């Protein structure tokens, strides 16, 4: 196959701070992961402390962590390859890709395997002690994967290149990703990374924190059970509805480069689970009433998140389906319609609202004395506001006047009457 490097740049508008952002983010974010994990293990747990709790280099590398990482990625790859649940990518019928969407099976099989290993005496709580070298390995794997993705993208067919990742600036293209759906045979690297090793790894690490708490204090706290339960629900939901990820901008629009590789493999498992890690060193007592309030908040958030996502997915797959046929819509010049009633008539991103409410419910069990467990809420709100702006730009370009009409009909973006 011919090299595609002489193709003219298709799209020159740069996001995430352009070339400067692309140079700084791959250094700054991995260091942030290591810093957060180090702070989490200090008895003070203060996010801003001087001198910063920098780990000694001997705590950053452990061959056992490297072996676990290789074993983990191999196990998840093998589970991904099992011939179950095939779906095609609806947005790109011209190259009709098929995906293995059996994430829920993979989660269940991983759970059974882990349970057997724990029964046979494997000390799962030991992952708490290994968390820094594990994060270092995950960061290393993301760098290697991103480098591999960048190099192989020069042999990809032109129609497989992402619009935004082909500016001609090597640093920026490495960061954003040149190829849309890189595959080895039928193994789709982006789809696999987005949902399997990182998401399942996140809940396994949470379970390890629970085991560590039991080792240290003899039983698990209500706060730890809530954090584990809420995040397990979120991950299970994502894997149960795995094919819905095929319509998100990450799969349809963005290339696969360092940002997503690192986000999927290192950022998600090691920063989304900070609350459980925090609770191991900073135990919290929760009253039954506050626990009830937090469960309610998570329930409301989950219900908005799930119902709005399902409503849009159903609408995009089959607009005539009886569950949504009664909803009001507006036509666009592309032939696609936009929902203006139901969840998508409430705010323009009801799914983000539900997700933010859940994020808050995951942090509240850790009390209000520390900032660290709220890192996820703050980061996630920034991510979603930025994501909303990107999506808005893309939708305005796609739908033109119809999008302006939608914005007039539904004026608030995420939080009614506020934003
Ligand atoms: N936990 C995490 O770290 C993260 C979680 N998420 C979650 O992932 C989920 C998916 O989010 P994301 O991929 O950002 O985007 P959305 O699921 O919000 O999808 C946006 C797209 O939906 C379509 N759309 C927008 N408005 C309407 C409408 N009124 N009627 C019909 N279709 C409409 C448009 O695409 P088109 O018209 O082309 O179909 C638009 O591009 C969310 O729940 C989000 O909270 C996202 C990022 C990170
Ligand atoms: C700071 C940094 C490197 C950011 C990269 C962003 C990624 C971490 C996120 C981009 C979109 C994501 C999605 C999920 C996880 C985080 C990333 C990868 C997701 C898989 C979480 C579970 C949800 O149910 C989801 C499937 C809707 C979601 C899809 C987007």
Give the tens place of pLDDT for each residue, 183-204: 999 899 999 999 999 999 999 9
pLDDT at residue number 3: 64
Tens of pLDDT, residue by residue over 148-157, are 999 999 999 9
Checking if the pLDDT of 94 tops 50, the result is: no
Write 213-216 long-range contacts (CB < 8 A, 24+): 213/279, 213/280, 213/283, 214/125, 215/125, 216/280
Question: Is 406 within 8 Å of 329 (Cβ atoms)?
Answer: no
Checking if the pLDDT of 6 tops 50, the result is: no
Ligand 2 contact via 263 beta carbon (within 6 Å): yes
Checking if the pLDDT of 102 tops 50, the result is: yes
Ligand 2 contact via 267 beta carbon (within 6 Å): yes
Collapse the DSSP code of 327 into the 3-class scheme (helix H, G, I; strand E, B; otherwise coil) and give the result: coil
Confidence label for 142 from pLDDT (cuts 50, 70 and 90): very high
What distance in angstroms lies between residue 202's CA and the mean position of ligand 2's atoms?
12
Checking if the pLDDT of 179 tops 80, the result is: yes
Ligand 2 contact via 242 beta carbon (within 6 Å): no
pLDDT at residue number 58: 82
Q: Which residues line ligand 1 (CB under 6 A)?
A: 248-249, 305, 309, 312, 315-316, 336, 338-339, 344, 349, 351-352, 355, 383, 387, 391, 394-395, 406
The whole-chain average pLDDT of the chain stands at 91
Whose alpha carbon is nearest atom 16 of ligand 1? Answer: 248
| Ligand 1 atom index nearest CA of 359 | 1
Over the range 114-137, which residues count as b (16 or more CB within 10 Å of their CB) and which as e?
eeeeeeeeeebbebbbbbbbbbbb
Checking if the pLDDT of 165 tops 90, the result is: no
pLDDT at residue number 235: 98
Ligand 2 contact via 146 beta carbon (within 6 Å): no
Checking if the pLDDT of 96 tops 70, the result is: no
**CB neighbour list of residue 54: distance below 8 Å, 6 or more residues apart:** 35, 38
Tens of pLDDT, residue by residue over 32-59, are 999 999 999 998 888 888 888 888 888 8
CA atoms of 188 and 192, how far apart (whole Å): 6
- From the list 264, 286, 284, the residue with the least C-alpha distance to 372 is 284
Question: Is 131 within 8 Å of 37 (Cβ atoms)?
Answer: yes
User: Which pTM was predicted?
Assistant: 0.94
Give the number of the ligand closest to the Cα of residue 352. Answer: 1
Checking if the pLDDT of 133 tops 80, the result is: yes
Beta bridge pairs of residue 337 = 331
Confidence label for 166 from pLDDT (cuts 50, 70 and 90): confident
**Percentage of the chain modeled with pLDDT above 70:** 93
Least reliable range by pLDDT among 32-36, 81-85, 109-113, 269-273: 81-85
Checking if the pLDDT of 239 tops 90, the result is: yes
Checking if the pLDDT of 281 tops 90, the result is: yes
CA atoms of 404 and 410, how far apart (whole Å): 10
pLDDT at residue number 33: 97
CA angle 237, 75, 153 (to 5 degrees): 85
- φ and ψ at residue 183, rounded to 5 degrees: -135, 150
For the chain, how many residues are written? 419
Whose alpha carbon is nearest atom 14 of ligand 2? Answer: 194
Give the number of the ligand closest to the Cα of residue 139. Answer: 2
What distance in angstroms lies between residue 102's CA and the mean position of ligand 2's atoms?
18
CA atoms of 327 and 308, how far apart (whole Å): 13
Checking if the pLDDT of 88 tops 60, the result is: no
Checking if the pLDDT of 385 tops 50, the result is: yes
Checking if the pLDDT of 91 tops 90, the result is: no
- From the list 77, 75, 70, the residue with the least C-alpha distance to 185 is 77
What distance in angstroms lies between residue 386's CA and the mean position of ligand 2's atoms?
13
pLDDT at residue number 147: 97
pLDDT at residue number 95: 46
Ligand 2 contact via 259 beta carbon (within 6 Å): yes
Checking if the pLDDT of 398 tops 50, the result is: yes
Tell me the mean pLDDT in the region 257-263.
97
């Amino acid at each position: 196959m011919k090299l595609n490097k002489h193709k003219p740049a298709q799209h020159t508008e740069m996001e995430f701070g352009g070339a400067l952002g692309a140079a700084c983010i791959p250094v700054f974010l991995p260091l942030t992961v290591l810093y957060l994990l180090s702070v989490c293990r200090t008895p003070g747990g203060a996010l801003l402390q001087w001198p910063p709790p920098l780990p000694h280099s001997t705590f950053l590398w452990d061959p056992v962590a490297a072996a676990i990482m290789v074993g983990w990625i191999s196990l998840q790859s093998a589970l991904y390859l099992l011939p179950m649940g095939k779906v095609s990518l609806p947005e790109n019928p011209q190259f009709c890709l098929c995906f293995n969407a059996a994430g829920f099976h993979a989660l269940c099989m991983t759970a059974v395997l882990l349970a057997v290993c724990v029964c046979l005496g494997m000390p799962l709580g030991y992952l708490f002690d290994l968390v820094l070298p594990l994060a270092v390995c995950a960061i290393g794997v993301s760098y290697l994967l991103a480098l591999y993705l960048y190099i192989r993208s020069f042999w990809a067919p032109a129609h497989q290149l992402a619009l935004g990742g082909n500016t001609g600036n090597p640093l920026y293209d490495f960061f954003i990703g040149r190829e849309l759906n890189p595959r080895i045979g039928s193994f789709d690297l982006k789809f696999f990374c987005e949902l399997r090793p990182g998401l399942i790894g996140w809940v396994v690490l949470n379970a390890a924190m629970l085991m560590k708490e039991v080792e240290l204090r003899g039983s698990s706290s209500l706060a730890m059970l809530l954090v584990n339960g809420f995040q397990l629900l979120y991950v299970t939901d994502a894997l149960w509805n795995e094919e819905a990820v095929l319509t998100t901008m990450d799969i349809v629009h963005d290339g696969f480069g360092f940002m997503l590789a690192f986000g999927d493999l290192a950022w998600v498992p090691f920063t989304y689970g900070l609350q459980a890690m925090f609770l191991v060193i900073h135990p919290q007592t929760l009253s039954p009433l506050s626990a009830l309030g937090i469960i309610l908040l998570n329930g409301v958030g989950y219900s908005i998140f799930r119902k709005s996502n399902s409503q849009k997915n159903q609408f995009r797959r089959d607009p005539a389906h009886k569950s949504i046929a009664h909803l009001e819509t507006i036509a666009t010049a592309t032939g696609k319609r936009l929902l203006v009633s139901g969840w998508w008539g409430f705010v323009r991103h009801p799914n983000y609202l539900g997700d933010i409410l859940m994020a808050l419910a995951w942090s509240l069990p850790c009390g209000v004395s520390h900032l660290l467990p709220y890192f996820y809420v703050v980061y996630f709100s920034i991510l979603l506001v930025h994501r909303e702006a990107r999506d808005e730009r893309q939708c305005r370009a796609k739908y033109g006047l119809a999008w302006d009409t939608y914005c007039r009909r539904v004026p608030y973006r995420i939080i009614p009457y506020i934003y």
